[in-house]
Structure 1
Amino acid sequence: MAPVAASNPANRGRDNLESTWAYLEENVEKVMTKLREGVDMKTYMGVYTRVHNFCTSQKPTTTSPAGAAHSASRGAHLLGQEIYDKLGEYLSKHLAEVNARADTHTDEALLSFYIREWKRYTDAAKYNNHLFKYLNRHWVKREMDEGKKNIYDIYTLHLVKWKDDFFQKVQERVMQAVLKLVEKQRNGETIEQLQVKAIVDSFVSLGLDENDPTKSTLDVYRRYFEAPFLTATKDYYQRESKLFVAENSVVEYMKKAEARLDEEKERVGLYLHPDIMKKLMDVCNEALITDHSLLLRDEFQVLLDNERVDDLTRMYKLLSRIKDGLDPLRNRFEAHVRKAGLASVDKVASSGDNFEPKVYIDALLDIHSKYQQLVTVAFTGESEFVRSLDNACKEFVNRNEVCKSNSSRSPELLAKYTDQLLKKGAKAADESELEDLLLQIMVVFKYIEDKDVFQKFYSRMLAKRLVNVSSVSDDAETSMISKLKEACGFEYTNKLQRMFQDIQVSKDLNSAYKDWYDKVMEDSSKKRTIDSTYQILGTSFWPLNPPNSPFSPPTEVNEAIDAFKRFYDGKHTGRKLTWLWQLCKGEVRANYVKQGKVPYTFMVSTYQMAVLLLFNEQETLDYADIKEYTQLSDDILDTAVMGVFQKARVVTATPEGGKPEAGTKYTLNRGFKNKKLKVNLNVPIKSEQKTESDETHKTVEEDRKLLLQAVIVRIMKGRKKLRHVQLVEEVITQVKNRFPPKVSDIKKNIDILMEKDYIERLDNDELAYIA
Structure 2
Amino acid sequence: MTNVPTNSDLETTWTFVEPGLKLIIGGGVDDNEGVNPKMYMNVYSAIYNFCITKSSSSGNLAPNSGSQSSLLVGGEIYNKLKGYLSLYVTSLEKNPGETFLEFYVRRWSRFTIGAGILNHVFDYMNRYWIQKERSDGRRDIFDVNTLALLTWKDQLFIPNSEVLIKEILEQIKLQRDNQVVDTAKLATAIKSFVALGIDVNDLKKPNLAVYIDHFETPFLAATKQYYTAESSEYLASHNVIDYMKKAEQRINEEESRETLYLDEHSKKPLTDRLNEALIVAHKQVMYDKFNELLDQNQIDHISKMFGLFNRVQSTLEPLSDLLSDYIKTQGNKAIENLKNDIANDLTKANLPVSGGAILKNVDPKLYIRTLIQVHKTFDGVVTAAFQRNPIFVKALDSACKGYINDNSIAKPSGYKGNSRTPDILAKYSDVLLKKSKDADAVGDMSLDDIMTIFRFLNDKDAFETYYRRLLARRLIHGTSSSEETEEAIVHRLQSENSLEYTSKISKMFQDIRTSHELRTLFKEEASKDAELARAADFEPFILTEMMWPFNHTPNKFQIPTDLEASFLKLQDIYQSKHNGRVLKWQWNLCRGDIRANLSKPGKVPFTFSMTLYQIAICLPFNETDTYTVGNLLELTGLDQVSFTSAIAPLIKFKLFTQEEGSSIEDPNTKITVVKEFKAKKLKINFAALVRGIDNSKEQEEAEKEINDDRKMYLKACIVRIMKTRKSLAHNMLINEVIQQTHQRFSAKIADIKKCVDELVDKEYLARKENQTYDYLA
TM-score over 0.5 for the alignment? yes
| Structure 1 partner of 2:177 | 187
Question: Counterpart of 1:137 in 2: which secondary structure?
Answer: helix
1:27 aligns with 2:28: no
> How far is the alpha carbon of 1:573 from its aligned partner?
2.1
- Structure 2 residue runs of 5 or longer lacking an equivalent are 343-357
The residue aligned with 1:170 is: 160
Aligned to 1:574, the other structure's residue is in SS state coil
**What is residue 94 of structure 2 aligned with on the other side?**
101
1:424 aligns with 2:435: yes
The reply to whether residue 368 of structure 1 matches residue 375 of structure 2 is yes
- Alignment of 1:218 with 2:212, yes or no, is no
Q: Distance in 1 between matches of 2:192 and 2:532?
A: 113
Corresponding residue of 1:496: 505
- Report the counterpart of residue 624 of structure 2 in structure 1: 618
Contact 2:607 / 2:684 at 8 angstroms: preserved in 1? Answer: yes
Q: Where do residues 483-632 of structure 1 align in structure 2 (5 Å cutoff)?
A: 483-521=492-530, 528=534, 531-547=537-553, 549-593=555-599, 597-632=603-638
Matching residue of 1:475: 484
Give unmatched runs, 5+ long, in structure 1.
1-11, 63-67
Deviation string for 1:484-508 (max 9, x for gaps)?
Answer: 2122211111121122122222222
Residue 321 of structure 1 aligns with which residue? 311
Cα–Cα, structure 1 residues 624 and 768, in superposed 2: closer, same or farther, change >3 Å?
Answer: same
1:150-181 C-alpha deviation (Å, 9 max, x unpaired): 32222222222222222223333333332222
Q: How does 1:273-288 map to 2 (within 5 A)?
A: 273-288=263-278
- Does the residue aligned with 1:150 lie in a helix, a strand or coil? coil
Q: Report if aligned partners of 1:484, 1:493 keep a CA contact under 8 Å in 2.
A: yes
Q: Report the alpha carbon displacement of residue 587 of structure 1 after superposing the two structures with TM.
A: 1.0
Do the aligned partners of residues 627 and 291 (structure 1) sit closer, same or farther apart at CA in structure 2, a change above 3 Å counting? same
CA positional deviation for 1:84:
1.6
How far the C-alpha of 1:593 sits from its partner, in A, is 2.2
| CA positional deviation for 1:261 | 0.8
Structure 1 match to 2:748: 742
Task: Verify: 1:459 aligned to 2:468, yes or no.
Answer: yes
Q: Give the conservation status (yes or no) of the 8 Å contact 1:516–1:567.
A: no
1:512 and 1:589 map into 2 onto residues whose CA distance is 25
Matches within 5 A, 1:672-691: 672-683=677-688, 685=691, 687-691=693-697
- Partner letter of residue 81 of structure 1? G
Match of 1:644 among 640, 649, 652: 649
Question: Does residue 1:445 correspond to 2:451, yes or no?
Answer: no
- Are residue 85 (structure 1) and residue 79 (structure 2) matched? yes
SS at 1:679 equivalent: strand
Give the RMSD, CA atoms, in angstroms.
3.2
1:533 Cα shift? 1.9
The residue type equivalent to 1:633 in the other structure is: D
**Deviation readout 1:604-647 (Å, 9 max, x if unpaired):** 111122222233233344333332322222222223x2222234
The TM-score normalised by the length of structure 1 is 0.89
Q: Distance in 2 between matches of 1:150 and 1:718?
A: 69
What is the CA–CA distance in structure 2 between the aligned matches of 1:568 and 1:72, rounded to whole Å?
A: 112
Change beyond 3 A, Cα 1:430–1:526: closer
Q: 2:398 aligns with which of 391, 395, 399?
A: 391
Distance 1:81 1:220, change over 3 A: same
Aligned to 1:209: 199
Secondary structure in 1 aligned to 2:755?
helix
Q: What SS is found at the alignment partner of 1:424?
A: coil
Change (3 A) 1:39 1:334: closer
Aligned to 2:284: 294
SS in 2 for 1:264: helix
Q: Which amino acid aligns with 2:510?
A: Q
* Alignment check: 8 A CA contact 1:456 1:696 kept: yes
Are 2:728 and 2:774, in contact at CA under 8 Å, matched by a contact in 1?
yes
Asked whether the 8 Å contact 1:655–1:665 carries over to 2, the reply is no
Secondary structure class of the residue paired with 1:745: helix
Change (3 A) 1:127 1:707: closer
CA contact (8 A) 1:499 1:541 kept: yes
CA contact (8 A) 2:591 2:612 kept: yes
Provide the secondary structure at the position in 1 that maps to 2:314.
coil
Q: Indicate the larger mover: 219-228 or 580-589.
A: 219-228
Q: How far apart are residue 411 of structure 1 and its match?
A: 1.3
Matched AA of 1:552: Q
Amino acid at match of 2:196: L
Identical residues among aligned pairs (%): 37
C-alpha displacement of 1:257: 0.7
Alignment correspondent of 2:423: 412
Query: SS at 1:91's partner residue?
Result: helix
- Secondary structure (helix, strand or coil) at the match of 2:387 reads coil
Q: For the residues of structure 2 that align with 1:221 and 1:382, how far apart are their CA atoms? A: 37
Displacement of 1:686? 6.0
Structure 1 residues 84 and 526, CA, compared in 2 at 3 Å: closer, same or farther? Answer: closer
Paired residue for 1:151? 141
Contact 1:57 1:79 in 2 (8 A): no
The 8 Å contact of residues 60 and 76 in structure 1, kept in 2 or not, is answered as no
2:625–2:672 Cα contact (<8 Å) kept: yes
Following TM superposition, by how much is the alpha carbon of 1:467 offset from its aligned partner in structure 2, in angstroms?
A: 1.8
Q: CA deviation at 1:142?
A: 1.7
Deviations 1:189-237 (A, max 9, x none): 3333222222223222222121122444222222223222222211211
Greater CA drift, 439-448 or 26-35 = 26-35
Give a deviation string over 1:556-601, Cα, whole Å, max 9, x none: 1212212222333333322222221122111112221269832221
Is 1:199 matched with 2:193? no
Aligned amino acid, residue 457 of structure 1:
Y
